[in-house]
A = this chain, B = another copy of it.
Amino acid sequence: MERMTRIGRVAIVGGIHGNELTGAYLVKKFEQFPELIQRPSFETLALFGNPQAFAVGRRYIDKDLNRCFGSQDLDNPTLANYEECRAKTLYQILGTNGQFPADLIVDLHSTTANMGLTLILGNNHPFNLRLAAYLSSINPLVRVYSCGVSGYSNIVLRSLCQLSFSIEVGPVAQGVLQADFFRKTEELIHAILDYLEVYNQEKTTQSDRTLTLYQYVGVIDYPRNEHGELQAMIHPQLQGKDYEPLHPGDPLFLTFDDRAIAYEGESVVYPIFINEAAYYEKGIAMCLTEKYQLTV
Contact = CB atoms under 8 A, between A and B. Distances in A.
Contacts of A258: 183
Nearest to A29: B256
Interface stretch (A134-142, A154-162, A167-175): A167-175
A174 B277 contact: yes
Contacts of A178: 233-234, 239, 275
A176 interface: yes
B173 A277 contact: yes
Interface in A171-222: 171-180, 182-183
A182 B57 CA distance: 26
Given A174-B174, A230-B25, A239 B57 contact: no
A230 B176 CA distance: 12
A234 B174 contact: no
A219 to B, nearest CB: 17
Closest 6 CB pairs of A and B: A175-B277, A173-B173, A112-B173, A179-B236, A177-B233, A29-B256
25 contacts: A25-B230, A25-B233, A25-B256, A28-B229, A28-B256, A57-B281, A58-B58, A112-B173, A112-B176, A172-B173, A173-B176, A173-B277, A176-B277, A177-B230, A177-B234, A178-B233, A178-B234, A178-B239, A179-B233, A179-B234, A179-B235, A179-B236, A179-B239, A179-B254, A182-B233
Interface of A: 25, 28-29, 33, 57-58, 112, 171-180, 182-183, 229-230, 233-236, 239, 254, 256-258, 275, 277-278, 280-281
